Structure 1
Amino acid sequence: MTEPSIDIRGAAVDFPIFDAKSRSLKKAVLGKAGGRIGTDSKVPIIEALRDVDISLRKGDRVALVGHNGAGKSTLLRLMSGIYEPTRGRAAVVGKVAPVFDLAVGMDPEISGLDNILIRGLFLGMTKKQMESRVDDIAEFTELGEYLEMPLRTYSTGMRVRLALGVVTSIDPEILLLDEGIGAVDAAFLAKARDRLNELVERSGILVFASHSDEFLADLCDTAIWMEHGQIREHGPLRDVLHHYKGHDVLADLGRT
């Protein structure tokens, strides 16, 4: 059986900006995207990723760090196959579970229980697989009778609980995770962290974009620092976080 892998060589992802009227518009878009603007074309181009080289194998647990707009989400989407490289190549082997937005694949007009099935199908599971997981997911969410109610009646925290229950029940070979779980209380977040650890153990490769040093320390052992669409550094988690933040983050968290 072929083991999961991610091989990216010299990859770039460009986004053309059509109908740009002025240089100031280009600058405004650039400021939001965090990339670079190419000037060799009549159509302005945002270089969201440039010259990216990554090789990941089974067992790799990689944190993606960098400021907002540095290219982390674009890189995750390149790994998932949502984006094709404009230049270079990206070869991904294995069943990919992209978890970029916990709300994607959920319908506000149907019940929480029905949304469990839909969200699972969206993440590549079969209906039978999800039906066998419903009771476990329901117990984890602690939502009780709310699971019979339409999703539109849920608070943000309740929606996150439901989405986390589904996400942490899947069996991916490659898990691409973009954090969006800050709307739940600390006790439930600790419970979710345990489930995420179990999920990471089941997955072959984890790539996790997050601003939470504690989550990264729990789930990852190496890191990639993205800056202006390029890889600034790739190495051990402690070293990369230290260089990125300017202090020993793991020591501050009490990690040896």
Structure 2
Amino acid sequence: MSDIVEVNGVELSYPIYSIRANSLRNTLANLVIGGKLLKDGQDIIHVQALHNISFTLGEGDRLGVMGHNGAGKSTLLKVIAGIYEPDRGSVKVKGDISCMIDIGLGLDAAHTGRENIFNMGRMRGIARKEIESNMEEIIEFSELGAFIDLPVQTYSAGMRTRLVFSVATTLKPDVLLLDEWIGAGDAAFHDKATNRMNSLLENSRAMVLATHSHGMVKKVCNKLLVLDQGREAYYGSVDGYDASALMQ
């Protein structure tokens, strides 16, 4: 069985330019920002976000990625999605990717719900024709009714959440990338949202979930990668890891 996702020796660092003051440099050094700080001359500090990360996912694999804030979880998702290009190593993905890192990307409160469906869909790489063919299903699932043609700034927080969630879960991807498990705020909408997420998961060939919840990982994943300052601290079965180590 061929691999669907192959991450091989991936390394990535960020340059932070024009940092001259020692006090500011010392402040940055104390922040939890996802890796080791490397000084390069007087004006640049590099943040080593990922260091030599490797794993493969086959058909049906669900990988949970855990670690403290700033460990590199979201960065890894962005590398797999092709948003960031690694400094070293390679990423190979077979099939379509749905990347749910910022599911509200493209939302404009001044535009109507219908206009925002197009905006958010296009920002997610969905073709206009596909958005049009799924428009009524998205509106029906969101339960917004006539509000769909009103500006989003008139929506409650729950209505906005339903709109964003409905668009974000439209695609049926081969590879699903999630930055935390996505839910919807309205209590009445919760069961629908959960069923939708479960269906999306079941229909994907592989999934990577970045999360702080070991319970969620145990529920939906068969593999676990734990990151510590951008490095692999653990990779293997979910049951083989003692989650209390993350509490230290």
Q: Normalising by structure 2, report the TM-score.
A: 0.87
The answer on whether the counterparts of 2:51 and 2:231 sit within 8 Å (CA) in structure 1 is yes
Distance in 1 of aligned mates of 2:219 and 2:165: 17
Distance in 2 of aligned mates of 1:210 and 1:175: 14
Structure-2 residue corresponding to 1:251: none
Structure-1 residue corresponding to 2:241: 240
| Correspondence 1:29 to 2:60 | no
Structure-1 residue corresponding to 2:136: 135
The answer on whether the counterparts of 1:156 and 1:183 sit within 8 Å (CA) in structure 2 is no
The answer on whether the counterparts of 1:97 and 1:124 sit within 8 Å (CA) in structure 2 is no
Residues 105 and 8 (structure 1 numbering): CA distance in 2 closer, same or farther, change over 3 Å? same
Structure-2 residue corresponding to 1:254: none
Distance in 1 of aligned mates of 2:196 and 2:133: 17
Question: 1:3 offset after TM fit, Å?
Answer: 6.9
C-alpha RMSD of matched pairs (Å): 2.4
Structure-1 residue corresponding to 2:178: 177
Structure 2 unmatched ranges of 5 or more: none
CA deviation string 1:155-202 (max 9, x = no partner): 333222111111222121111111374660344233212101101122
Distance in 1 of aligned mates of 2:33 and 2:180: 18
Structure-2 residue corresponding to 1:59: 60
Structure-2 residue corresponding to 1:253: none
Distance in 2 of aligned mates of 1:23 and 1:240: 40
Identity of aligned residues (%): 36
Other structure's SS at 2:240 match: helix
CA deviation string 1:236-255 (max 9, x = no partner): 22333635456xxxxxxxxx
Structure 1 unmatched ranges of 5 or more: 247-256
Structure 1 range deviating more: 167-176 or 3-12: 3-12
Q: Normalising by structure 1, report the TM-score.
A: 0.85
| Correspondence 1:122 to 2:126 | no
Q: Where does 1:195-234 land on structure 2 (aligned, <5 Å)?
A: 195-234=196-235
Other structure's SS at 2:63 match: strand
Question: 1:78 offset after TM fit, Å?
Answer: 0.6
Distance in 2 of aligned mates of 1:28 and 1:153: 41
The answer on whether the counterparts of 2:67 and 2:246 sit within 8 Å (CA) in structure 1 is no
| Correspondence 1:38 to 2:75 | no
Task: Read off the aligned partner of 1:209 and give its amino acid letter.
Answer: A
CA deviation string 1:120-140 (max 9, x = no partner): 222232222222222222222
Residues 3 and 53 (structure 1 numbering): CA distance in 2 closer, same or farther, change over 3 Å? closer
Distance in 1 of aligned mates of 2:218 and 2:158: 24
Task: Read off the aligned partner of 1:15 and give its amino acid letter.
Answer: Y
Q: Where does 1:44-123 land on structure 2 (aligned, <5 Å)?
A: 44-123=45-124
The answer on whether the counterparts of 2:65 and 2:210 sit within 8 Å (CA) in structure 1 is yes
Distance in 2 of aligned mates of 1:115 and 1:171: 20
Structure-2 residue corresponding to 1:19: 18
